[in-house]
Chains A and B, each alone.
Chain A
Amino acid sequence: MNNVILRTITAVVVPIIALFSIQLFFAGHYYPGGGFIGGLMAAGAIVLLLIVFDIRTVRKMIPINYQWLIGTGLLFAVGTSAGSLLFNVPFLTHAYRYVHLPLLGKTSLHTAVLFDTGVYLVVVGITLVIIETIGESD
C-alpha cells in the first residue's frame, strides 16, 4: 500500500506534537500541564508513527526498551524523593533555587521537575508497552 500523503504529513506533524508535549511538560508548574499529560502526548506522537508505519520500523526509529523506560522513570521519581533522606529531612521534601542562566535569564530550578520527569517517562513507557503488547499479540 502506498501512503505517501499520510507518511509525509506524519513526518511534519510528529515533531510538532513532540514539541507541544515538551511545552506542556515544562509549563506544568505555572500553567495547566505537567508530566502526565506531557507523557501521554509524547506517547501519542509515537502512536501516530505506529499507525503509519509498522511496529518493526518504529522500533528501528526509536530503539528504546519501554519496560526499562518505566523502571528508569520510577527510579527518577523515587530517587528525587529519597534524596531527601541524605539530608535527614522528611521524604519528598523538595528544594529550589533561582539561578541566572545564559539566554534564559532568571530561572527557577526545582527538584520537583526531576520527579515530574519520572512521571513523564513512566507514562510514555506504560502507554507504549500496553499498545505494542496488544498490537503484537494475535
Chain B
Amino acid sequence: MINLLLLPILIPLVTAILLIFFKDRVVWQKALSLVAILFQLAASVLLVRRVYLEGIQTLNIGSWPAPFGITLVSDMLSALLVLTTSIVALACLIYSFYAIGKEREKFYYYSFFQFLLVGVNGAFTTGDIFNLFVFFEVMLMSSYVLLVLGGTKMQLRETIKYTLVNVISSALFVIAVGYLYAVTGTLNMAHLSIRIAELGQSSVLTIIAVLFLIVFGLKGAIFPLYFWLPGSYYAPPTPVLALFGGLLTKVGVYSILRTFTLLFYHDTSYTHALLGWLSMATIVVGVIGAIAYRNLRQIVIYNIIVAVGVITFGISLMSPESLEGSIFYLLQDMVMKSVLFLLVGIVVYVTGTNDLNKFSGLIQSYPLLGWLFFIVALSLAGVPPFSGFIGKLLIVKASLTEGLLFEAIIVLLSSLLVLYSVMKIFMNGFWGEKKGYEPKPIGALYVPVVFLILLSVLYGVGIEFIRPFIVEATSVLVDPMIYIQAVLKE
C-alpha cells in the first residue's frame, strides 16, 4: 500500500466530513471519532514500522514527479511526531467525552477536533513549503473555532487576539514563501535545499531564513513573539487546551527544525546564533512566568514556553547529539504538556478554581491523583528514571562540547525552576490541611491521564528500545542528502 503515509491525514479528514452529517447524534459522533482515532493510531504505528524497515517514505500526490507535484515525505522524525499526535489526540478525545458538555458537542466539536488533526498530521508529513502553509491554515482555522466554541466572554476576547496574531503571521508566511520562490524558483523542500546549496546561502537567503524564523517563532511562541500565548491558552476548556498545548506550538518548533536543518544550514554563524540567543531568552522568560504565577493554568502555560526554548536551543547547536536531544525532548514534551493540562483540568473540576491559594490537602481525598501529579512533575524537570531526562542530558552535553558553559547552566537552572514551579502546585495544592473543595467522583477522567503517564514512564525507562528510532530521525537532519535523494530519486 503506497498510500500508507497519507492515512494519518486521510482518516481524520474523512471522519470530520462524516461527522458533519450527525450533528445532533452525540453518541454516534463519539463512537465514530473514537474508532477513527484508533485507526489513525494503528496507521501511524504501521508507518513508523515501515519507515524503520524501509527508510524514508515518499508519495508523489497525483503521480506527478517530485519537484513539480506535491510530495508527501515521511521520514522517521515526522512519522514519530504523527504517532505522538495520535496518542495525544486519543487521550484528549477520551477526556472530551466526559468533560466537554452537550452544547459544544452539538456544534461540530468532534468535527473540528478531527480537522485539527488533519492540519497537524499534514504539517508534519508534507514535503512542500506552500503545502505546509496550507496545512498550517487548516490547523489554525480549526483552532480558532475550538478556541471560541462555547462563546463565553473570555473566549471571545482571547480569540480576537489569537486570530489577529495568526492572521498576521500567516501573511508573513506567504510573503516569506513568495521571496523564497522568487530567489530559488521552486517550492519542493528537497529541491529548495539543492537550489539554496547551489546559491551558497547569499545574504538574501539569510534574510529569508530570519523571516521564516519570525513566522515559525510566532506559531511556536519563542521570545519575543510569545506574547499572545499566555492569554489565548487561558481561555479554552481543558481538553481543547491539552490538545493545543500538546500539538500547536510543537508544529512551529518542528517547522523551525525542518527549515533550519534542511534549507538554511549554510550560514549557521548568523541564523543559528540568533536562534540560540532567542532560545535562551525564551527559557528565561518562560521560567520567570512559571515561578511568578500562583495560577495553575498560567504555570503550565509558561512551562510550554520554557520547553520550546530548550528544544530550539538544541536545534541552534546543530550537532548530532543536540538534535537527538531535541527530538527526545520534543516527543516527550508533547505528551507531558497535554497530560499536565489534563491533570490541572481535573484539579480545577474538583476545586472549582485555578487559584493555588484557595485550596489544599487534595491528597487526602485523591491519593492517586496526587502521586500521578508528582510523577509528572519529576518527568517534566528531567529526573533520571523519567522521560524528560535523556533529552536535556544530550542538549546540555552538546552545549558543553561546543564550549557553551553559560547556556548549559541556564538550561540546568531552568530545570530546577520548572521543578520548583510544579512542586509549588504539588506542595500547596495536595499537601496541607483539607480545605477549599468538596470531594466528588472523578472516575473516567483518570483513564486518559493514566494512559499518557504510563506511556511517558515507559518512554523514560525504555530509552534503549526507542533510541534506534531517534537516531534514525537524527541522521536525516544531520545529512540533508538522505532526504533529498529519497524525494528526488536521482
Interface residues, chain A, CB within 8 Å of chain B?
A: 67-68, 70-71, 74-75, 78, 82, 84-85, 88-94
Q: How far is the CB of B424 from chain A (nearest CB, A)?
A: 45
Specify which of B3, B14, B20, B23 is in contact with A91 (CB 8 Å cutoff): B3
A91–B17 CB distance below 8 A: no
* A78 to B1 CA separation, bound complex (whole angstroms): 18
Q: Are A90 and B23 in contact (CB-based, < 8 A)? A: no
The CA-CA distance from A91 to B71 in the complex, in Å, is 11
Q: Is the CB of A93 within 8 A of B20?
A: no
A92 in contact with B62 (CB, 8 Å) = yes
For A82, give its contact among B1, B10, B60, B63 (CB under 8 Å).
B10
Nearest-neighbor residue (CB-CB) of A77 within chain B: B17
Choose from A70, A78, A84 the contact partner of B20 (Cβ within 8 Å).
A70
Contact of B23 among A67, A92, A93 (CB under 8 A): A67
When the two chains form their complex, are residues B62 and A91 in contact, meaning their CB atoms are under 8 A apart? yes
A88 to B2, CA, bound (A): 7
Residue of A74, A85, A92, A93 ringed by the most chain B CB atoms within 10 A: A92
Question: DSSP class of B's interface residues: helix, strand, loop or mixed?
Answer: helix
Of the candidates B14, B17, B63, which one forms a contact with A90 in the assembled complex, judged by CB atoms under 8 Å apart? B63
Q: Which of under 10, 10 to 19, 20 to 34, or 35 or more describes the interface residues of B?
A: 10 to 19
Closest to B17 in A: A74
Is B6 positioned at the interface, with any CB of A under 8 Å from its CB? Answer: yes
Judge whether A90 and B62 touch: CB under 8 Å. yes
By DSSP majority rule, is chain A's interface helix, strand, loop, or mixed? helix
- Contact residue among A71, A84, A92 (Cβ-Cβ distance under 8 Å from B17): A71
**Residues of B with C-beta under 8 A to A74:** 17, 20
Residue B13 CB within 8 A of the other chain: yes
Chain B contacts to A: CB under 8 angstroms: 1-3, 6, 10, 13-14, 17-18, 20-21, 23, 59-63
- Chain A nearest CB: distance from B47 CB in Å? 15
Distance in angstroms between the alpha carbons of A89 and B62 in the assembled complex: 8
- CB of A22 to closest CB in B, whole Å: 25
User: With a CB–CB cut-off of 8 A, which chain A residues contact B2?
Assistant: 88-90
Residues B60 and A75 in contact, CB atoms below 8 Å apart: no
Contact pick for A78, options B3, B17, B60, B62, CB 8 Å:
B17
Could you tell me the distance in whole angstroms from the C-beta of A34 to the nearest C-beta in chain B?
17
Q: Which residue of B lies closest to A67 (CB)?
A: B20
A75 to B16, CA, bound (A): 10
Q: Which residues of A contact B23 (CB under 8 A)?
A: 67
Distance, CA A74 to CA B111, complexed state (A)? 13
CB-CB under 8 A for A88 and B1, given A71-B20, A78-B13, A82-B10: yes
Bound-complex Cα distance A75 to B63 (A) = 21
24 pairs, CB–CB < 8 Å, chain A vs chain B:
A68-B21, A70-B20, A71-B17, A71-B18, A71-B21, A75-B17, A78-B13, A78-B14, A82-B10, A82-B14, A84-B3, A88-B1, A88-B2, A89-B2, A90-B3, A90-B61, A91-B3, A91-B6, A91-B10, A91-B59, A91-B61, A92-B61, A93-B63, A94-B62
Instruction: Kindly name the residue among A71, A78, A85, A88 whose own CB sees the greatest number of chain B CB atoms within 10 A.
Output: A71
Query: Closest approach, in angstroms, between the C-beta of A25 and any C-beta of chain B?
Result: 21
Distance of A31 from chain B, by nearest CB (Å): 22
State whether A90 and B20 are in contact (beta carbons under 8 Å apart), knowing that A78-B13, A78-B14 are contacts in the complex. no
